[in-house]
Amino acid sequence: MREQKYRICSLFAGAGGIDIAFEQAGCTTVWANENDRDACLTYHLNFPDVLLDRRDIRKVPASEIPEFDILAGGFPCQPFSAAGREEGFQDKRGNLFFEICRIMDSGKPQAFFLENVANLETHDHGNTFNIIRDQLASRGYYLRYLVADAQDYGFPQRRNRIYIVGFKSSEVAERFAFPEKSRPGKKIFDIIDRSRKAPEWCYLIPGTVQYEKMAQAIRDDNEMYRFSDGRFAASGGILSSRNGIAFTLLAGMGNWHDREPVIRDRWGIRKLTPYECFMLQGFPDGFSLEGIPVKSAYRQAGNTVCVPVVRQFAEKVVAALMEGSEPTTEEKLLLVGTVRNRQQLEAALSGKFYHFPARYIPENLERVSEVALYLPSRLSGEQSGIRYTGRISGKRILPRKEISELPKNSEEKYCRIEVNEWIECKKPSPVKMTGPVICERI
């Protein structure tokens, strides 16, 4: 298999967490956009060779972005976060999602990776996510998504996020597999070094209300704590980590004095430093925050991603793109059948198979690697119809009398083709159906 460095276009790059993850997976970032002044400083410190565009993304002509293979970004999550007002697309930051679509339309990447708060899936009773999914699928992408907690993927932080991936090729989408779950191999203080004294400003002052309240709440020096709201009134308004797994680091760090994590070391009770917060997001040693204001550094740490988790997704995206990327000497075929009615479609989708009349099946059936069901516009309501594509998992010829859902008054034979999974594509490339079944080259 040839080695290939996939080129990343990074939108809403922030401190660069997603970019670090994809570069660790063997990709290279060719262009990034970020509009926050301090985040731009952080990004440039750590990615000095990447072309960083600091303009508002709405003012960036898509034609100025260099060619790229994968679009990656964690578009602003505050409009969808349960911790915010949940205004969704009514918040101007929520509408920045459509800038992703604009860049996709121009760059036509092979794949994309998007990250957001888990609440995105259920916001506005699921309507927001339906709009996002439809917008992406209508551009010819085959989507996969997963709500995943970082602690279930080997990292000691409770951080629940939705990860959305998409591919132009249905075959690549079929190959993509989500990372497997694993238990964290480390705990908080395998990452945070308490043997060194922190800067003096990190320590709470004995005798103050904050210090006395926290001193009373700390029961285990191997956990970390945070001042919180009334939801944790039973514990004095203080949230504790559990079993050495950190609670979610918040974007409100830096904006509110009581949102930074607190620990006890041998010198006293103190806040974690911004650098330690980045370490609890899995950033690599040597990540630079030189010259970055403290409040902004905290905020950036809370806004970024858990790098080791995103890296696992990035590796899976790259693996799916790379597998079978070598040119083959023998072309593969796609078998396309027209669905006559919605009942027929529903039976095929639920059963993960479709019966094609045998007389339409090409002699070289072994070269048919995928099948597609085409629902024309008169039935789908979409101008160019809807296509459902699946990678073949099994094939066999059956007499009609053995197929319960078809009339048995004929001796015609059918080819039962089974698939692993059907993937929906709205507004597919135009299909010219010259008969009930056609073959296309892949």
Q: Is 315 exposed, middle or buried (0-12, 13-18, 19+ CB in 10 A)?
A: middle
Cβ contacts of residue 110 below 8 Å, gap of 6+?
6, 69, 70, 167, 168, 169, 172, 321
Q: Tell me how far apart the alpha carbons of residues 75 and 94 are, in angstroms, rounded to a whole number.
A: 8
Q: Tell me how far apart the alpha carbons of residues 265 and 242 are, in angstroms, rounded to a whole number.
A: 18
Which amino acid is located at 108 in the chain?
A: K
Q: Tokens representing 162?
A: 């939705």
Cβ distance 133 to 166 under 8 Å?
no
Which residue in 263, 233, 236 sits closest to 247, CA to CA? 263
Which residues on adjacent β-strands are paired with residue 116?
162
Cβ distance 281 to 305 under 8 Å?
yes
Query: What are the start-end ranges of the H helices in 246-306?
Result: 274-279, 294-303
**DSSP codes, 317-361:** HHHHHHTT-S--SS--EEEEEE--SHHHHHHHHHHTEEEEEGGGS
Cβ distance 272 to 263 under 8 Å?
yes
* 77 in catalytic set: yes
What single-letter DSSP state applies at residue 232? Answer: G
Catalytic residue among 9, 77, 277, 306: 77
Say how far residue 298 (Cα) sits from the centre of its chain. 23
Strands 386-399 and 368-375 come out as antiparallel
Catalytic residues: 77
